[in-house]
């Protein structure tokens, strides 16, 4: 790379121009493509004997155990279906604690004595796989001498076909456990937490006269991401290895013109999005919305919500598909929370609600929220959950990458609070004071333009600064990070809410048993809950400095970084709740803590090393060469007896910067060699010593970039990466 001309010549946007229009699929109806590569309900119905189909459906709907006798039939039908679509292999696809997914492929092929082969797949192979678990992080739950782990088919999430360049693989969503039954993955606690919440929610529904037997949590996760030209990506070791740029001066134009959000989507990007959507549709992932985001080259994709377990699998598929398809369009997809300093970072808004088996959304206020006391009970339970388990929720989204958003001055703040909106807050305040009628009804919003229809107004209005907002009929957990698996934040919410629902149900059951009318019992309970937990409600500006002061006064937690947030996972009340609701035992929970802490340390360590590498092997050589040229200029101009204020001044400035740059590189290098007694101590060292040194080094590096000739700068610049689309 090197010169600006060669950098630009290398941008693969040119290849894209040449190949434009050749990638499109043969036109067919999206409705026909949707789910065509998923072994979903309709494929199961079409392929399985009636009794087997019914048994499988019972397993899926009620969580009944799958009888081994039917597993063989299901396996054979699934294999036949997959083979007809060209599949040669199958894999148990699971979500270890690394944060990404894992897969080991096995062939269906079994050689026969006559030298031929047949495709085979039995129930045992479907239900259970046995990958060696020793290379996955376990946070100490399993030592290498008992390395066996096993993957268990999750029948509630439909298998799908992964089409790649030279073949097709049947992908079987699975849980991953140790031989002793400890959860080594993200799916197992998610499934357990949904069970836990269901059990408690059903108790409350029963009091309100419902005969529902199961409640599921629902999830719709909006994914933000960046796309940049792939050849720029390849010229940035920091993007390749750390996912974010560690040097890079801010471009003259960033996002200040506010001309990107919802702007028209560049042709190459739109082509990419359409292929991603097409792939996801075929696998049954209901992606719905696409648009430009706030920062240049930042975009968003959002699905229609689903059962939280399926939604979590589909979210992982979405991230994988984004990354896999991008190179076809000469692009690289960046899912890091903060790939570029100075413009917005990327988050993942996790929309969350609860639904009974009839599809009733338990957080839907209905026509007159005030009278809808069941809604208010569930809503108040969420308030209690978030207030009581602020620390858990905060810890569930803690990572080195997300610290750039939450701890810094952007996106949601690190303080967890709930935005309820004016009307609901008003209702809760009146309940607390024992009052009754609310005047602020969620009526109709007059658009003021007569050709436009009257828009119904959501009970929750908009607030972009809250980490946890009620948005009409669901909560939106906005502090979740772009890169992370959404399972843990879902688990945290489910456990917290299950715990609150347990509290609520016990209170109401007791009151009703003692002869109190339900309505009176609810009124008393709500008044108490509001009194106890209203400190968590905040409808104001979450970015403001006043909020930090106010939150402190209210006694809310402020954990601005990962090392201070993670210990919240180990608090007694968190552990107790996880154990009581049988979601994770102490060992399993501690494992999550250790893996997350370790990931933080490793991330900062890699970033620090990369900065030293970029400093010594890219920036310094280029800057020294420039310094030499400047010195030669000064000598030559002096010999010519011409005046040379500009040359001398530039040389002096550059020399000063270079001295500081070298010094700061050495300081960072030395800090990276630090050895710590414990992971906790090392995390503090990363936060308190390494990160500040990295920032200080970057400041000088970026100043050097601004002073350097553009055609010898060794790295693609922000201006190039963010604006060549
Ligand atoms: P917004 O524009 O406010 O973000 P949308 O209506 O576009 O809201 O929805 C955002 C996301 O929330 C979508 O993925 C949507 O499917 C999801 N969502 C809607 N209702 C629910 C619900 N009951 N449970 C979980 N997610 C939901
Ligand atoms: Mg949203």
User: pLDDT tens-digit profile of 566-580?
Assistant: 999 999 999 999 999
- Which atom of ligand 1 lies nearest, measured to the CA of 473? 23
Are 207 and 505 spatial neighbours (Cβ–Cβ below 8 Å)?
Answer: yes
pLDDT of residue 610: 98
What is the arithmetic mean of pLDDT over 1-28? 62
Rounded to whole angstroms, how far apart are CA atoms 343 and 294? 8
Under the banding of pLDDT at 50, 70 and 90, the label for residue 368 is: low
Going from the Cα of 571 to the center of ligand 1, the distance in angstroms, rounded, reads 32
For ligand 1, whether the C-beta of 302 sits within 6 Å is: yes
Using most ligand atoms within 8 A of CB, pick from 194, 197, 215, 305 the residue to mutate for ligand 1.
Answer: 305
Which bin fits 319, alpha (ψ -120 to 50), beta or left (φ > 0)?
alpha
CA–chain centroid gap for 397, Å, is 8
CA–chain centroid gap for 464, Å, is 18
Q: What is the SS3 assignment for 188-209?
A: HHHHHHHHHHHHHHHHHHHHCC
- Which atom of ligand 1 lies nearest, measured to the CA of 219? 25
pLDDT of residue 76: 95
Residues in CB range of 627: below 8 A, 6 or more apart: 651, 654, 655, 658
H helical segments located in 142-294? 187-207, 230-234, 237-242, 267-282
Under the banding of pLDDT at 50, 70 and 90, the label for residue 459 is: very low
Residue 532, H or E segment: helix 518-533
Q: Which of 364-373, 420-429, 608-617, 632-641 has the lowest mean pLDDT?
A: 364-373
pLDDT of residue 27: 58
Going from the Cα of 469 to the center of ligand 2, the distance in angstroms, rounded, reads 10
What pTM does this model have?
0.93
pLDDT of residue 147: 61
- Which atom of ligand 1 lies nearest, measured to the CA of 221? 14
Q: If we measure between CA atoms, which residue out of 243, 393, 255 comes closest to residue 319?
A: 243
Nearest CA to ligand 1 atom 3: 471
User: pLDDT tens-digit profile of 15-61?
Assistant: 666 555 544 555 578 888 999 999 999 999 999 999 999 999 988 88
pLDDT of residue 367: 65
Q: If we measure between CA atoms, which residue out of 701, 718, 714, 492 comes closest to residue 596?
A: 492
Going from the Cα of 262 to the center of ligand 2, the distance in angstroms, rounded, reads 13
Under the banding of pLDDT at 50, 70 and 90, the label for residue 717 is: very high
pLDDT of residue 453: 45
For ligand 1, whether the C-beta of 473 sits within 6 Å is: yes
What is the arithmetic mean of pLDDT over 656-660? 98
pLDDT over 90 at 13, yes or no: no
Nearest CA to ligand 1 atom 1: 471
pLDDT over 90 at 225, yes or no: yes
pLDDT over 50 at 439, yes or no: no
For ligand 1, whether the C-beta of 470 sits within 6 Å is: no
For ligand 1, whether the C-beta of 291 sits within 6 Å is: no
Going from the Cα of 400 to the center of ligand 1, the distance in angstroms, rounded, reads 27
For ligand 1, whether the C-beta of 314 sits within 6 Å is: no
Q: Give the CA dihedral 246, 247, 252, 255, nearest 10 degrees.
A: 0
Using most ligand atoms within 8 A of CB, pick from 197, 219, 220, 362 the residue to mutate for ligand 1.
Answer: 220
Residues in CB range of 16: below 8 A, 6 or more apart: 268, 329, 330
DSSP string, 29-56: -HHHHTTTTB--HHHHHHHS-HHHHHHH
Closest-approaching ligand to the CA atom of 355? 1
For ligand 1, whether the C-beta of 303 sits within 6 Å is: yes
Are 93 and 171 spatial neighbours (Cβ–Cβ below 8 Å)?
Answer: yes
Q: Which residue has the higher pLDDT, 95 or 458?
A: 95
Nearest CA to ligand 1 atom 11: 220
For ligand 1, whether the C-beta of 471 sits within 6 Å is: yes
Q: How many CB atoms lie within 10 A of CB 539?
A: 18
pLDDT of residue 537: 96
pLDDT of residue 228: 96
User: pLDDT tens-digit profile of 311-362?
Assistant: 999 999 999 999 999 999 999 999 999 999 999 999 999 999 999 999 999 9
For ligand 1, whether the C-beta of 353 sits within 6 Å is: yes
Under the banding of pLDDT at 50, 70 and 90, the label for residue 261 is: confident
- Mapping DSSP to helix (H, G, I), strand (E, B) and coil, where does residue 468 land? strand
Under the banding of pLDDT at 50, 70 and 90, the label for residue 492 is: very high
pLDDT over 90, % of the chain: 73
Q: Which of 120-124, 261-265, 593-597, 710-714 has the lowest mean pLDDT?
A: 261-265
pLDDT over 90 at 265, yes or no: no
User: pLDDT tens-digit profile of 172-214?
Assistant: 999 998 888 889 999 999 999 999 999 999 999 999 999 999 9
pLDDT of residue 450: 43
Give the total residue count for the chain: 725
For ligand 1, whether the C-beta of 615 sits within 6 Å is: no
| β-sheet bridge partners, residue 162 | 169
Q: What is the DSSP letter of 27?
A: P
Rounded to whole angstroms, how far apart are CA atoms 39 and 455? 39
- Which atom of ligand 1 lies nearest, measured to the CA of 363? 23
- Mapping DSSP to helix (H, G, I), strand (E, B) and coil, where does residue 540 land? coil
pLDDT of residue 356: 95
Closest-approaching ligand to the CA atom of 351? 1
| Cα–Cα–Cα angle for 441, 443, 445, rounded to 5 degrees | 130
What domains sit in the chain, N to C, each tagged with a CATH number?
34-184 (3.10.20.70), 186-220+347-446+453-584 (no CATH), 600-721 (1.20.120.1560)
Rounded to whole angstroms, how far apart are CA atoms 389 and 160? 36
pLDDT of residue 452: 41
Are 321 and 276 spatial neighbours (Cβ–Cβ below 8 Å)?
Answer: yes
Q: Which residue has the higher pLDDT, 148 or 522?
A: 522
Under the banding of pLDDT at 50, 70 and 90, the label for residue 438 is: very low
Under the banding of pLDDT at 50, 70 and 90, the label for residue 130 is: confident
For ligand 1, whether the C-beta of 174 sits within 6 Å is: no
Going from the Cα of 377 to the center of ligand 1, the distance in angstroms, rounded, reads 21
Are 550 and 544 spatial neighbours (Cβ–Cβ below 8 Å)?
Answer: no
For ligand 1, whether the C-beta of 464 sits within 6 Å is: no
pLDDT over 50 at 449, yes or no: no
Q: How many CB atoms lie within 10 A of CB 101?
A: 19
Question: How high is the mean pLDDT of the chain?
Answer: 90
pLDDT of residue 533: 98
Going from the Cα of 464 to the center of ligand 2, the distance in angstroms, rounded, reads 9
pLDDT of residue 99: 82
pLDDT of residue 435: 59
pLDDT over 50 at 437, yes or no: no
pLDDT over 90 at 460, yes or no: no
pLDDT over 60 at 461, yes or no: no
What is the arithmetic mean of pLDDT over 623-651? 96
Are 204 and 288 spatial neighbours (Cβ–Cβ below 8 Å)?
Answer: no
Q: Give the CA dihedral 589, 591, 596, 602, nearest 10 degrees.
A: 170
Rounded to whole angstroms, how far apart are CA atoms 104 and 91? 6
Under the banding of pLDDT at 50, 70 and 90, the label for residue 132 is: confident
- Which atom of ligand 1 lies nearest, measured to the CA of 471? 3
Residues in CB range of 185: below 8 A, 6 or more apart: 94, 95, 96, 97, 175, 176, 177
Under the banding of pLDDT at 50, 70 and 90, the label for residue 474 is: very high
pLDDT over 70 at 81, yes or no: yes
pLDDT of residue 440: 47
What is the arithmetic mean of pLDDT over 376-404? 97
């Amino acid at each position: 790379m090197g010169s600006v001309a060669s950098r630009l010549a290398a941008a693969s946007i040119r290849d894209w121009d040449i190949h434009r229009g050749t990638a499109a699929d043969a036109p067919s109806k999206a409705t026909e493509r949707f789910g065509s590569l998923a072994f979903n309900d309709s494929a199961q119905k079409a392929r399985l004997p009636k009794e087997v189909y019914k048994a499988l459906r019972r397993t899926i709907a009620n969580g009944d155990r799958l009888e081994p006798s039917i597993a063989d039939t299901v396996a054979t039908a699934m294999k036949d279906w997959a083979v007809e679509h060209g599949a040669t292999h199958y894999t148990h696809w699971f979500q270890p604690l690394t944060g990404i997914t894992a897969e080991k492929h096995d062939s269906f092929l079994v050689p026969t004595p006559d030298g031929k082969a047949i495709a085979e797949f039995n129930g045992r192979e479907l239900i259970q796989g046995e990958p060696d678990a020793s290379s996955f992080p376990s946070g100490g739950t399993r030592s290498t001498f008992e390395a066996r782990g096993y993957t268990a088919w999750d029948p509630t999430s439909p298998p799908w076909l992964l089409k790649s360049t030279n073949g097709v693989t049947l992908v079987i969503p699975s849980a991953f456990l140790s031989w002793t039954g400890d959860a080594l993955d993200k799916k197992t606690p998610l499934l357990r937490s949904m069970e836990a919440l269901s059990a408690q929610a059903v108790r409350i529904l029963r009091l309100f006269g419902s005969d529902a037997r199961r409640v599921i949590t629902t999830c719709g996760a909006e994914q933000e991401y960046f796309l940049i030209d792939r050849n720029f990506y390849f010229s940035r070791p920091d993007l390749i290895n750390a996912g974010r740029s560690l040097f890079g001066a801010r471009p003259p134009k960033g996002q200040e013109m506010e001309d990107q959000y919802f702007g028209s989507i560049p042709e190459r990007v739109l082509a990419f999005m359409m292929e991603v959507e097409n792939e996801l549709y075929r696998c049954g992932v209901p992606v719905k919305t696409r648009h430009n985001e706030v920062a240049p080259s930042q975009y968003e994709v959002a699905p229609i919500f689903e059962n939280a377990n399926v939604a979590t699998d589909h979210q992982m598929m979405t991230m994988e598909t984004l990354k896999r398809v991008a190179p076809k369009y000469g692009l690289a997809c960046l899912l890091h929370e903060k790939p570029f300093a100075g413009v917005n970072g990327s988050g993942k808004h996790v929309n969350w609600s609860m639904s009974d088996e009839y599809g009733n959304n338990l957080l839907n206020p209905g026509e007159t929220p005030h009278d809808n006391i069941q809604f208010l009970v569930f809503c108040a339970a969420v308030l209690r959950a978030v207030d009581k388990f602020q620390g858990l929720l905060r810890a569930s989204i803690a990572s080195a990458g997300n610290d750039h958003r939450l701890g810094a001055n952007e996106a949601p703040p690190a303080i967890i609070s709930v935005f309820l909106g004016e009307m609901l807050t008003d209702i809760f305040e009146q309940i607390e004071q024992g009052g009754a009628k609310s005047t602020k009804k969620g009526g109709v919003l007059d658009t003021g333009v007569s050709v436009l229809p009257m828009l119904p107004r959501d009970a929750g209005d908009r607030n972009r600064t809250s980490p946890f907002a009620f948005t009409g009929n669901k909560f939106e957990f906005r502090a979740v990070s772009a890169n992370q698996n959404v399972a843990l934040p879902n688990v945290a919410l489910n456990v917290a809410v299950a715990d609150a629902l347990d509290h609520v149900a016990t209170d109401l059951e007791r009151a009703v048993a003692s002869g109190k009318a339900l309505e009176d019992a609810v009124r008393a309970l709500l008044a108490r809950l509001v009194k106890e937990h209203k400190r968590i409600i905040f409808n104001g500006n979450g970015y403001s400095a006043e909020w930090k002061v106010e939150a402190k006064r209210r006694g809310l937690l402020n954990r601005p970084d990962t090392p201070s947030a993670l210990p919240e996972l180990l608090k007694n009340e968190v552990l107790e709740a996880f154990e009581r609701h049988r979601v994770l035992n102490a060992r399993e929970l501690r494992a999550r803590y250790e893996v997350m802490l370790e990931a933080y340390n490793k991330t900062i360590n890699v970033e620090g090393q990369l900065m030293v590498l970029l400093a010594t092997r890219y920036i310094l050589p280029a800057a020294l060469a420039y310094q030499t040229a400047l010195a030669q200029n000064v000598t030559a101009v002096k010999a010519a007896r011409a005046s040379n204020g500009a040359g001398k001044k530039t040389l002096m400035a550059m020399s000063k910067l270079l001295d500081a740059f070298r010094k700061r590189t050495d300081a960072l290098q030395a800090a990276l060699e630090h050895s710590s007694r414990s992971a906790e101590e090392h995390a503090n060292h990363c936060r308190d010593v390494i990160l500040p040194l990295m920032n200080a080094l970057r400041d000088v590096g970026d100043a050097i970039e601004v002073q350097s000739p553009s055609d010898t700068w060794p790295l693609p610049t922000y201006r190039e990466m963010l604006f060549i689309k």
